[in-house]
């Protein structure tokens, strides 16, 4: 087999595993959310489908598959059908540039645990995460429903507002590393996580990620009290399921990105490099993905906890938070970081 064929097969297999992992993670993140909120509210939660409710996501999937699929008479049918795909695909491909672990040897073939650690990984993430807003806006517009249209407009204004602060907050770690590669960022955090050096940037980045994923308290685009269901009011069946999938996959993806940029990614102070052998099988390097998952799960629990405890904020307050507080703070943090780097107060990590 030629080198090109091996490269294509390697990338295809890793892409398939990551996509299937995200879809499986989506299914059980919904179960995690329902059980965790039930615990907070002193309820039982789903426990009927399978042992301990473990098959509840499968039951939900079957329900959505067989649910009647309705398209409004006045809807733009082509755009109406394309919008869920435009929202879902960016969520599934955003992790393509995130290293999931060190190189491992499998069946005599050495491969990296990640699809492509490109030297503009941060730009790729910012670009891909901004695409999903088109799907939400088009879904609202194509539905021929004023409530859906209002939800789409809210989403576009919200994402534009918070993407500015998100971009400026992630530039502080970029400045410390001197590289846009996520692999370089992970390597720079061997001895100290960037959340220690950049706590304000980390806090702003996490808040803006909540806004980008339309999670509470930033879920104004699908506010039930005001907009019935927002941009997906007219969607049913698997088209609604696609929006549902996109939200939870984005939760997992942005948690992985936050862990990579501010919490050392798959590294944990050398633990990821421990030699592990089971008989003749060499499992060295496989701790990396486990460490990364261990950092993602607490982030997911925090998102659920925030949803269960904080009320939805008023829309003008939401916009003011993005433009008047987070944007100036992220810009100030970037300027201070630049000054401290020039003065030699902050350590710099060459790419």
In a domain, 148, yes or no: yes
Range of the domain at 174: 67-343
Residue 13: its pLDDT value, please?
Answer: 86
pLDDT at 263: 93
Q: Which residue has the higher pLDDT, 332 or 52?
A: 332
Rounded Cα–Cα distance for residues 73 and 241 (Å): 21
Which segment of 99-113, 216-230, 271-285, 290-304 scores lowest on mean pLDDT? 271-285
| pLDDT, tens only, 313-325 | 888 898 999 999 9
Judge whether 120 lies within some domain. Answer: yes
Q: Tell me, yes or no, whether 173 lies in a domain.
A: yes
Query: Average pLDDT, whole number, for the chain?
Result: 87
Residue 36: inside a domain: no
Position 350 in a domain: no
User: Does the structure show a pLDDT above 70 at 282?
Assistant: no
Share of the chain above pLDDT 70, in %: 96
Residue 49 lies in a domain: no
In a domain, 128, yes or no: yes
**Predicted TM-score (pTM) above 0.95:** no
Is the pLDDT confidence value at 274 over 80?
Answer: no
Per-residue model confidence (pLDDT) at position 351: 45
| Residue 294 confidence (pLDDT) | 94
* Number of domains composing the chain: 1
For 36-89, how does the pLDDT look when each residue is reduced to its tens digit (9 = 90+)? 999 998 998 888 888 888 899 989 888 888 888 888 888 888 998 999 999 899
Residue 39 resides in a domain: no
pLDDT value at residue 234? 87
What is the SS3 assignment for the chain? CCHHHHHHHHHHHHHHHHHHHHHHHHHHHHHHHHHHHHHHCCCCCCCCCCHHHCCHHHHHHHHHHHCCCCCCCCCCHHHHHHHHHHHHHHHHHHHHHCCCEEEEEECCEEEEECCCCCCCHHHHHHHHHHHHHHHHHHHHHHCCCHHHHHHHHHHHHHHHHHHHHHHHHHHHHHHHHCCCCHHHHHHHCCCCCHHHHCHHHHHHHHHHHHHHCCCCCCCHHHCHHHHCCHHHCCCCHHHHHHHHHHHHHHHHHHHHHHHHHHCCCCCCCCHHHCCCEECCEECCCCHHHHHHHHHHHHHHHHHHHHHHHCCCCCHHHHHHHHHHHHHHHHHHHHHHHHHHHHHCCCCCCCC
Tens digit of each residue's pLDDT (9 = 90 or more) over 86-126: 989 998 999 999 998 887 777 677 788 888 888 899 999 99
Cα–Cα distance for residue pair 59/296, rounded to 1 Å? 25
């Amino acid at each position: 087999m030629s080198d090109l064929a091996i490269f294509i097969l390697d990338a295809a297999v890793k892409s398939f595993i990551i996509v299937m992992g995200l879809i499986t993670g989506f299914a059980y993140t919904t179960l995690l959310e329902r059980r965790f909120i039930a615990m907070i509210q002193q309820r039982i939660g789903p426990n009927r489908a399978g042992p301990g409710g473990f098959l509840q996501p499968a039951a939900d999937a079957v329900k959505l598959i067989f649910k009647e699929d309705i398209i409004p008479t006045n809807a733009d049918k082509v755009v109406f059908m394309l919008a869920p795909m435009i929202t879902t695909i960016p969520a599934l491909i955003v992790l393509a540039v995130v290293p999931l672990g060190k190189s491992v040897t499998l069946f005599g073939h050495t491969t990296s645990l990640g699809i492509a650690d490109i030297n503009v990984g941060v730009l790729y993430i910012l670009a891909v995460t901004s695409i999903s807003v088109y799907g939400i806006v088009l879904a609202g517009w194509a539905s021929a429903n004023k409530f859906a249209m209002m939800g789409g407009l809210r989403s576009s204004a919200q994402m534009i507002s918070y993407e500015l602060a998100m971009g400026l907050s992630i530039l502080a770690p970029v400045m410390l590393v001197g590289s846009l590669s996520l692999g370089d960022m992970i390597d720079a955090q061997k001895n100290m996580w960037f959340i220690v050096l950049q706590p304000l940037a980390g806090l702003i980045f996490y808040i803006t990620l909540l806004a980008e994923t339309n999670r509470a308290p930033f879920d104004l685009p699908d506010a039930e009290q005001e907009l019935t269901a927002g941009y997906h009011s007219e969607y049913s069946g698997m088209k609604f399921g696609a929006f549902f999938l996109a939200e939870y996959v984005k939760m997992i993806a942005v948690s992985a990105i936050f862990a990579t940029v501010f919490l050392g990614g798959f590294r944990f102070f050398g633990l990821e490099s421990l030699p592990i052998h089971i008989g003749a099988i060499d499992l060295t390097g496989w701790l990396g993905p486990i460490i990364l998952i261990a950092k993602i799960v607490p982030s997911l629990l925090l998102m659920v906890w925030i949803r269960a405890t904080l009320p939805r904020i008023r829309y003008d307050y939401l916009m003011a938070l993005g433009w008047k507080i987070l944007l100036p703070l992220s810009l100030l943090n970037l300027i201070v970081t630049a000054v401290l780097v020039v003065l030699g107060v902050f350590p710099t990590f060459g790419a």
